[in-house]
Copies of this chain bind each other. A is one copy, B any other.
């Protein structure tokens, strides 16, 4: 029998709310502007009104639960903890706030954990017991599934592989340390690498030299690489080298059957994936040879965040 759940993806600018069927389709969605709210209770109240509208419009009487992917969302406490990109400061107890307006069970986690769980419940990791998801975006997040369950650890903050120090003494990271994977393999990192490579090639007159520095993005580097720009290709060669090393190191921890990639920079495709696979194979410890593959998320990109959040209700 078909059942339904709600997935909520909280971002600093927008909040997406989707009605998801048990077969993994986002049937309908609504949106509100996170940045317009300064009162968390009012914000949650408006979300709950939208959930009721989604149910009514789609003739859904019952939902299994509400899954919420939020920056610094903590699975154990149900809180958002000191997110820097939200107007709501300090500890926001989503579980308590939602309980005022709904009786549905609430599950909270961060976006990378939600992405991993979305892949497990609705995507390419269905049936897998052990895998790792890397999400590449403004930063690098990760979600780790062991024995069919998300790893939360003592604090609820397990799986922060974007903040593994890959290059000791390397690039300065927003976390205050140096050399984190995030500074190399995120969209921001790809842009930084492009600026480095351009600075080493003052003779470069290609398409990316025509874009003002402030407007350069990992997407423009990806488009240039796919159009054959040699410097942009070099940037993705370096990015793949770093990312493949980080992925091989992660394998030595949990011996997964697959490592998944998701997010904007992954849309560049083979220009990133080919050097990533090569570096992964080169850096993988021989005991794991042949046991683990690199895969790209199979969730539809537009709905991935909502599906991931909805999947948390099955956690």
Q: Which residues of chain A have a CB within 8 Å of any CB of chain B?
A: 129-130, 144, 146-147, 149, 151-161, 163-168, 175-177, 180, 245, 248-250, 252-257, 283, 285-288, 291-292
Contacts and interface: CB of A to CB of B under 8 A. Distances in A.
A147 B149 contact: yes
Q: SS class of chain A's interface: helix, strand, loop or mixed?
A: loop
Contacts of A160: 252, 285, 287
Nearest to A257: B154
A155 B255 contact: yes
B155 A291 contact: yes
A92 B35 CA distance: 62
A252 B161 contact: yes
Contacts of A256: 153-154
Nearest to A128: B154
A238 to B, nearest CB: 12
Contacts of A167: 168
Contacts of A250: 253
A228 to B, nearest CB: 29
Contact of A155 (B175, B248, B288): B288
A156 B158 CA distance: 21
